[in-house]
Structure 1
Amino acid sequence: MTNFLHDGDLPDGALSGAAAVAVDSETMGLRLGRDPLCVVQLSAGDGDAHIVQLRRPDYHAPNLKRLLTDPSVLKIFHFGRFDIAMFHLHLKVVTAPVYCTKIASKLARTYTDRHGLKDVVKELVGVDLSKAQQSSDWGSADLSADQLAYAACDVLHLHAVRARLDEMLAREGRDGLARAAFEFLPHRALLDVAGWEDVDIFAHS
């Protein structure tokens, strides 16, 4: 397993040929419009992670943007709604097609209310993730070894999690609902960016 750190963008040819890529991001906070996007980490499910430290404020990352919008590559997230919104705000792209393991977990694992990445990964693939670096300074010019390891772990297990959740969704007859939710997810993220972050537009009132 190797963690590759890239300055500003994915190198030419990185992740080429992958049908599905796990994706996550690190930001300076969780508020859209206030907190900048700092890091994007990706894995093709081969045990390696590619960690892109973005150059702010221009965010010139053509290879990364091309991958996020490639219709032939499925992007696997956990709570993709936030990452997709951040990518739209800062990278100016709409990420698609997508799969969200948090949505899949909520549809398949109705026996629990624990759908955070740490809980899902521990139950489904038997790995206990450390979240110690979650709130560290991702805007730093020099990322620590602990930060890089943390960023990598957030994507290294998503392919295996997706496989387990797909089995559960099919077993419970909810795979069609999941696909529909994934197709809508980029639009939900755009609603967040447009100001409907805390509004349920499907509610009666």
Structure 2
Amino acid sequence: MTVHFHEEDLPDGLQFADGPIAVDTETMGLVTHRDRLCVVQLSDGHGDEHLVRFSPGSSYDAPNLKALLGDPNRLKLFHYARFDIAAILFYLGVEAAPVFCTKIASKLTRTYTDRHGLKNLVSELLAADISKAQQLSDWGGPELNEAQREYAASDVRFLHRLREVLVERLEREQRTGIAQACFDFLPTRARLDLAGWADRDIFSHD
């Protein structure tokens, strides 16, 4: 298991295994228009993770990364896809779809709890532990320390295995169809967030 670090884009010729690709992002905060995209994390589920760091003032001209994220034939695995899809769309100009979101799958299947964070899922479903100590650290600094790199890598390291468990649970609870409909809607939900409807439920009567 190796964490590979790249500046501004994936290197030419880098090959990922066929199948789903796990994706996560680190930003300067939670307001997409204000808080720039700093890191994109990737894993094909075969043991290595790749971190792509963007410097302040970056043009986000990352053709190799964009080609991977925008590939309509490759499933993208996220935890809380809504936020990451919006950040990728806003800064990289790419719609990262099709999608599987482990947070949505958890909410549809683990209805016995309200704890749907990645750490909770990894602990219960995979009997593993991840540290969230670096979650609120400065991702825009000139260097990413080893703790930050490990934290960023851990956010994509378990998504393939989580998907396997959650797919089984969705099937068991007969919620596969409604989950897929939610996943298909996520890029539109992200576009609504970016367009100003992040805090408004347009489906409500109000």
The two structures share one fold, judged by TM-score above 0.5? yes
2:188 match: secondary structure: helix
- Between the aligned partners of 2:12 and 2:77, the Cα distance in structure 1 is 21
Q: What are the Cα deviations for residues 143-190 of structure 1, in whole angstroms up to 9, with x where unaligned?
A: 101100000000000000000000000000000111111000010000
Match of 1:26 in 2: 26
Q: 1:201 matched to which residue of 2?
A: 202
- Identity in percent: 59
Would you say the 8 A contact 1:15–1:44 is kept in 2? Answer: no
What is the distance in 2 between the residues matched to 1:201 and 1:33?
21
Residue aligning to 1:125: 126
Judging changes above 3 Å, is the alpha-carbon distance between structure 1 residues 15 and 79 closer, same or farther for their aligned structure 2 residues? farther
Equivalent pairs counted in the alignment come to 205
Structure 1 residue identity aligned to 2:157? L
SS at match of 1:131: coil
Q: 1:114 matched to which residue of 2?
A: 115
Q: Any stretches of 5+ residues in structure 2 without a counterpart?
A: none
In structure 2, the residue corresponding to 1:76 is in which secondary structure?
Answer: strand
1:104 corresponding residue in structure 2: 105
Quick check: 1:10 aligned with 2:7? no
Unaligned 5+ runs, structure 1: none
SS in 2 for 1:164: helix
Contact 2:16 2:44 (C-alpha < 8 Å) held by counterparts: no
4+ residue segments displaced more than 3 Å: none
Tell me the secondary structure at the aligned position of residue 42 of structure 1: strand
- Partner secondary structure for residue 154 of structure 1: helix
RMSD: 1.0
Q: Structure 1 CA distance, aligned partners of 2:15 and 2:119?
A: 25
